[in-house]
Structure 1
Amino acid sequence: MKFKDQIDFVGQHIKKNKLRVFMTVLAATMGTAFLIVLASVGFGIHDTIRNEILSNRLVTEIQVYSGEMNTEQANELKEREHVKAVVFRQNLGIMQRTTLGKYTGNQELIVTDFTEEKKVNFELQEGRLPRNATEVVVGSHFKDSLMDQEVENEEGEFETYKGKLIGEQFTIQIGDDSGELFEDEIPLTIVGIGKKPAKEWEMDQKIYADAAIIPVIEKVYYAHVEKPIDEHPDAQQLFYGNVNVYADKLENVKAVSTALKDDGFSVYSISDELEQLDVFFLALKAGLIFVGTIAILISSIGIFNTMTMAVTERTREIGVMKAIGANPKLIQRLFLMESAWIGILGTVLAVVISYAVSILSNYILPIIVTAALGEEDLGNMDVTFSVIPWQLVVIASTISIGVAMISGWRPARKATKIDVINALRQEL
């Protein structure tokens, strides 16, 4: 019997029992759809949390912690293999005050290397980067932290600075550990404004200056404070630094991070966090797929019953086929094809239904949750409740069709063992 004839043979028998086959396909569809939709929740939560971690952060960033970090050590890190950039930011660790006209604030001064910052996309919303010791870039919320301490609004809050920033000159004063500010004022000019952080709740009020400003600050500070000849544990630290190393590729983050750990540095990279997250969600998704598989196994009972009844109803036909010389393997193949057809059709319908449910849930559930929480949004968090990757479709399809084939194997095997004489005696 040709393959086309085998397909026609299977099709004819399916048409004879449309209702029974339909209910069996429906059961297979529901079981497979349940597996896909259930597991898609795990993929959706994983995707949401992963994107939240990665947002507004460079995935190639490795934070290096060392109490004795200096410019020389930072430059040595640049020579390491797979290192794209090394950003050494030094924070001014003493009391400081900013003054712009009648407005004052306590913004933090950070000294950095803008050449390295540019390599890792230090972006501005306006202006340019500094070119000398007296030029600085300020954070996007710099003006919000400049206040007139003598003027209050109707809410009892101090008036904040509303003017332009680019080209404006302001001064900073520094002080000693007693909290007293020195009279000396260091004039600085704003030439750029940093890009706003991706998250609305993050505030950037910092002042970013070039390393050329360090001698200027040291000159003012040590004009009032005796410079220690030897390092003393009680001596106030003028600058303290932190280093961020950036790998050239995400694949090399782990190698660079491991090399730094081997050299005694304390490091942290987002890859460590993602690795732990991925392991957790791998176990969660495997558990959800396992639970969903139970639904498919339940639907397999329907396939088994349908195929068993099909064999019983076609006993005479099987006897005729055997009498004219049909191979038992052919008979077995015909029934396996029928069970496979049920599994394939159920899987296709389940995939279509699952994608529809996923799209609807991602549209409707945020609205419901937002209304329940009484907020305008979910804390500016882009939540995805359901994600169906192609890998999940392949896994679910393999399980569904595999279970259908296994369910039909026993009845198909039974069909090959029917006695020809008894089968021919069977009443139509």
Structure 2
Amino acid sequence: MQFKDQIDFIKQHMKRNKLRVATTILAATMGCAFLIVLASIGFGLHQTITDDVLDNNLVTEIEVAGKTDGETELSSADIPEEELEAIRKMDHVAAVVERNQPDADTQIIIGERNTYSRAILSSMQEEKKAGFALSDGQMPTKPTEVIVGFHLAERLLTEEEMKKEADGEEVQGFAGNLIGQTIELKLTPYTNEGGDAAEASSWEFVVTGIAKEPAKDWMTDTSVYADSSWAPVFNEELGLEQGHKNILVYADDLQDVGGITNALKEDGYYVYSVTEELGAMSVFFNALKAGLIFVGTIAVLIASIGIFNTMTMAVTERTREIGVMKAIGAKPKLIRKLFLMESAAIGIIGTVLAVAIAYGISVLANWLIPIIILSSLGEEDMGEISIVISTIPWQLVVIASAISIGVAMVSGWRPARKATQIDVIQALRQEM
């Protein structure tokens, strides 16, 4: 029997039992669709949280908190410069940035306007290598030039505007362009050695650039970024010791972050990078997705009962037909193949319909559920928040299809085997 004839043979039987076959396909479709939709929730939540982590972190950044050699513990401020230079020479390291923050209140003044800020002292050359992004202007080329945070201008208020803001009125802040403006940086130590109020000191700087807007709309950046050469000047003038110091290592690419992080750990450094957080989350979500796929597979197995019953009924109803086929020379292998093909056809049709339905449900869930969440919170706009409820990667489709079609064929195996064991004489004696 040619393959085309085998297909026609299967079609004829499925047409004769349309209702039973249709309900069996429906069961297979529901089981497979449930598997895909259920597992897609795990993939969607994983994507949502991963995107949130990546949005809130510079993905190539590795923070060095300190170091140990087994006996001595060093904070980031005590790590020698020669060791930082060795890190700079590591493969795939783009830059090593040392950011100092004076242990003092920071105030920015321009004319009658002022605001509290924070002074960050860093090497502008290393910041440039690290990819420090500007929304306007250019990087400083002189020690007397600085970069200011994206929101500094709107937070520069007069005394009258501060009072209005305190009363709930809307204020504008500095209306002009800060680039080219001279600002006064006023530092006031928190306390002096006697615990009395400390005297403030001021320095003037020229603004050459404005930092890029933070990734999230709830973040506010009013910082002032100045050259690291000012650190000893500020400390000496204010009588301060070394302030807060952060060491940040930047990789060439996200794929290099893990390797650099592991290399630094082996050398005794205490480090943190986004890969640490993503790694921990991946373990949890991989376990969650495996669990959801397992639960969904149970639904597919329940649907397989319908396929088993359908194929068993098919063998019973076609006993005479099978006897005729055996009488004219059909081999048991061919008969088994025909019934397995029929059960596989039910599984394939059900899987194709399930995939289409699952994608439709996924799109609907991603559109409707965020609206429901907004309504419950009394919000009208999601703003920067992005929630993915369900996502269906191709790997999930492949896994679900393999499970669904595989279970369908296994369900049809015993009825197909039973068909090959039918006695020819008894089958021919059976009335039509």
TM-score (norm 1): 0.92
1: CA distance, partners of 2:155 / 2:181 = 16
**1:288-308 deviation line (CA, Å, top 9, x unaligned):** 111111111111111111111
Structure 2 match to 1:232: none
Counting only pairs closer than 5 Å after superposition, residues 355-374 of structure 1 correspond to structure 2 as: 355-374=359-378
Structure 1 match to 2:219: 202
Structure 2 match to 1:168: 181
Counterpart of 2:164 (choices 129, 153, 158) is: 153
CA distance change for structure 1 residues 54 and 305 in 2, over 3 Å: closer, same or farther?
same
1: CA distance, partners of 2:201 / 2:25 = 84
Structure 2 match to 1:37: 37
1:419 aligns with 2:423: yes
Structure 1 match to 2:71: none
Q: Aligned partner of 2:94: which letter?
A: K
Counterpart contact for 1:343–1:405, Cα < 8 Å: yes
CA distance change for structure 1 residues 338 and 150 in 2, over 3 Å: closer, same or farther?
closer
Counting only pairs closer than 5 Å after superposition, residues 209-224 of structure 1 correspond to structure 2 as: 209-218=226-235, 220-221=237-238
Deviates more, 1:361-370 or 1:41-50: 361-370
CA distance change for structure 1 residues 40 and 59 in 2, over 3 Å: closer, same or farther?
same
1:76 aligns with 2:75: no
1: CA distance, partners of 2:159 / 2:270 = 42
Structure 1 match to 2:21: 21
**1:162-208 deviation line (CA, Å, top 9, x unaligned):** 23211111212334433645464311111111111010111111100
2: CA distance, partners of 1:284 / 1:214 = 49
List runs of 5+ in structure 2 lacking aligned partners: 67-74
Report deviation, 1:28: 0.5
Counterpart of 1:126 (choices 136, 144, 160) is: 136
CA distance change for structure 1 residues 306 and 392 in 2, over 3 Å: closer, same or farther?
same
Counterpart of 1:108 (choices 112, 118, 133) is: 118
CA distance change for structure 1 residues 97 and 181 in 2, over 3 Å: closer, same or farther?
farther
List runs of 5+ in structure 1 lacking aligned partners: 226-235
Report deviation, 1:406: 0.7
CA distance change for structure 1 residues 74 and 157 in 2, over 3 Å: closer, same or farther?
farther
1: CA distance, partners of 2:232 / 2:172 = 32
Counterpart contact for 1:88–1:243, Cα < 8 Å: yes
1: CA distance, partners of 2:253 / 2:206 = 36
2: CA distance, partners of 1:113 / 1:60 = 18
2: CA distance, partners of 1:108 / 1:161 = 18
Counterpart of 2:266 (choices 262, 268, 274) is: 262
1: CA distance, partners of 2:401 / 2:125 = 52
2: CA distance, partners of 1:311 / 1:170 = 90
1: CA distance, partners of 2:168 / 2:202 = 27
Structure 2 match to 1:400: 404
2: CA distance, partners of 1:73 / 1:348 = 59
Report deviation, 1:247: 2.0
2: CA distance, partners of 1:90 / 1:76 = 20
Q: 3-state DSSP class of the match of 1:106?
A: strand
Counterpart contact for 2:103–2:244, Cα < 8 Å: yes
Structure 2 match to 1:137: 147
TM-score (norm 2): 0.91
Q: Percent identity?
A: 53
Counterpart of 1:292 (choices 270, 293, 296) is: 296
Q: Aligned partner of 1:203: which letter?
A: T
Counterpart contact for 1:37–1:386, Cα < 8 Å: yes
Q: 3-state DSSP class of the match of 2:217?
A: coil
**1:222-278 deviation line (CA, Å, top 9, x unaligned):** xxx4xxxxxxxxxx4233311111222333322211222222221111111111101
**1:101-135 deviation line (CA, Å, top 9, x unaligned):** 11223311111122222233211111111111111
Q: Aligned partner of 2:28: which letter?
A: A
Q: 3-state DSSP class of the match of 1:153?
A: helix
Report deviation, 1:320: 0.8
2: CA distance, partners of 1:163 / 1:251 = 42
1:192 aligns with 2:192: no
Report deviation, 1:58: 2.5
2: CA distance, partners of 1:183 / 1:381 = 41
Counterpart contact for 2:155–2:174, Cα < 8 Å: no
Deviates more, 1:409-418 or 1:54-63: 54-63
Counterpart contact for 2:157–2:174, Cα < 8 Å: no
2: CA distance, partners of 1:269 / 1:246 = 10
Structure 2 match to 1:231: none
Counterpart contact for 1:148–1:160, Cα < 8 Å: no
Counterpart contact for 1:134–1:213, Cα < 8 Å: no
Counterpart contact for 2:105–2:118, Cα < 8 Å: no
Counterpart contact for 1:74–1:88, Cα < 8 Å: no
CA distance change for structure 1 residues 154 and 299 in 2, over 3 Å: closer, same or farther?
closer
Q: Aligned partner of 2:25: which letter?
A: V
Q: Aligned partner of 2:234: which letter?
A: I
Report deviation, 1:332: 0.5
Report deviation, 1:72: 4.4
